Amino acid sequence: MLAALLHRYKDLVLLIALGLGVVVITRYLLTRGVEWLADNAHLSPKLKGKILGFSTSIPELVATSSTAAMGLLGAGLWNIASSNIINSVLFVSALIWYRQQGRIVQTQFIDEIGFAASAIGLPLLLATQSGMERSPWTAVGLFGVFLVYLVLDKILNRHVREEYAEEIERVEGTHSVAAALALIGLGIVGITLSGYYLGQVAANVVNGLGMPQWAVGWILGFITSLPELTTFFAIFAAAKKRGEKSDASLQANLDNLAASNMSNLGLIFPIGITVFLVVLALS
């Protein structure tokens, strides 16, 4: 019975396995390399959080672009929408677990919270507007939103580095830059190879099992949010261990969330739209 079920749903099992493979590579090669590099460079908590947010969005990039190349843009859209929702739920979970919820109610965090929330609403809006997600103008508009996020975040947080100067000084890298770059390089290679097969398997799941694209998107969204889960909890755990008294870890995690959600919306999905339209034009 079990063997028959596994045979019937082998493509779905393979899809989940490939997604988990991308997540493991991202967390233990790419993201760890970024963390080592950030610690050696003594980056501010805010900048480190943003870099982690961008790096943990690599699985979404792989899933969205690979499924778009197979004509499954709907799966990519729901991957982005579900991932941003799940990222936010995971952040709140880490916030409550480490009892940081009382510290988030500060005006200095309004912009990061706003960015993260808007990156949830826009994909859901696109999902209700049939055909809009396929427009090149949608890709241009979403990329514009991403650029606005980068500019506003920089303008509104000019003095954040000075606020966490003590935290920056207390971070001491124990790994060489060469080791960090090696991990990052290996991570990129592994993710690229995994992503090549992930799109093909997703197409098999949709066509062979008759699973709707939104369901495939939610499965991928859950899987691709696992790197954010580990980084959210790891940042708060490290802050607790060193007896942090400032809001540095909260700042880092908020920027992790905002950067991850906004890059999913304004960078990765436009890439998915572009890949979809190019493949469609060439077919």
In a domain, 145, yes or no: yes
Q: Is there a domain that residue 3 lies in?
A: no
> Residue 148: what pLDDT?
94
Whole-angstrom distance, CA of residue 269 vs CA of residue 61: 8
244 is a domain residue: yes
pLDDT at 259: 94
* In-domain check, residue 62: yes
Three-class HEC string of the chain: CHHHHHHHCHHHHHHHHHHHHHHHHHHHHHHHHHHHHHHHCCCCHHHHHHHHHHHCCHHHHHHHHHHHHCCCHHHHHHHHHHHHHHHHHHHHHHHHHCCCHHHCCCHHHHHHHHHHHHHHHHHHHHHHCCCHHHCHHHHHHHHHHHHHHHHHHHHHCCCHHHHCHHHHHHCCCCCCHHHHHHHHHHHHHHHHHHHHHHHHHHHHHHHHHCCCHHHHHHHHHHHHCHHHHHHHHHHHHHHHHCCCCCCHHHHHHHHHHHHHHHHHHHHHHHHHHHHHHHHHHHC
**Cα dist. 45→99, 110, 179 in Å?**
19, 17, 21
Number of CB atoms found within 10 A of residue 217's CB: 28
pLDDT reported for residue 6: 56
Measured in degrees and rounded to the nearest 5, phi and psi for residue 105 equal: -80, 70
| Residues 121, 126: Cα–Cα separation, whole Å | 9
Q: Let me know if residue 4 belongs to a domain.
A: no
Does residue 111 fall inside a structural domain? yes
Cα–Cα distance measured from residue 257 to residue 261, given in angstroms and rounded to the nearest whole number: 6
Domain presence at residue 1: no
Q: What is the pLDDT of residue 3?
A: 61
What is the pLDDT at residue 91?
Answer: 94
What pLDDT score was predicted for residue 31? 75
204 assigned to some structural domain: yes
pLDDT value for 140: 95
On whether the CB atoms of residues 201 and 18 are closer than 8 A, the answer is: yes
CA–CA dist 99, 109 (Å, integer): 17
| Token code pair at residue 48 | 């480190």
Domain that residue 237 falls in? 11-282
Q: What predicted TM-score, i.e. pTM, was given to this entire model?
A: 0.85
177-209 and 213-224 are packed helices; what angle lies between their axes, rounded to 10 degrees?
A: 160
Determine the length of the chain: 283
pLDDT by residue, tens only, the chain of 283 residues: 556 555 566 777 777 887 788 778 877 887 778 778 777 777 778 888 888 888 888 888 888 888 898 888 998 999 999 999 999 999 999 999 998 888 888 778 888 999 999 999 989 888 888 788 889 999 999 999 999 999 999 888 877 655 565 555 454 556 778 888 898 888 878 877 777 677 777 777 777 778 888 888 888 888 888 788 888 888 888 788 778 777 888 888 999 999 999 999 999 999 999 999 999 999 7
Number of domains in the chain: 1
Q: For 106, phi and psi rounded to 5 degrees?
A: -135, 145
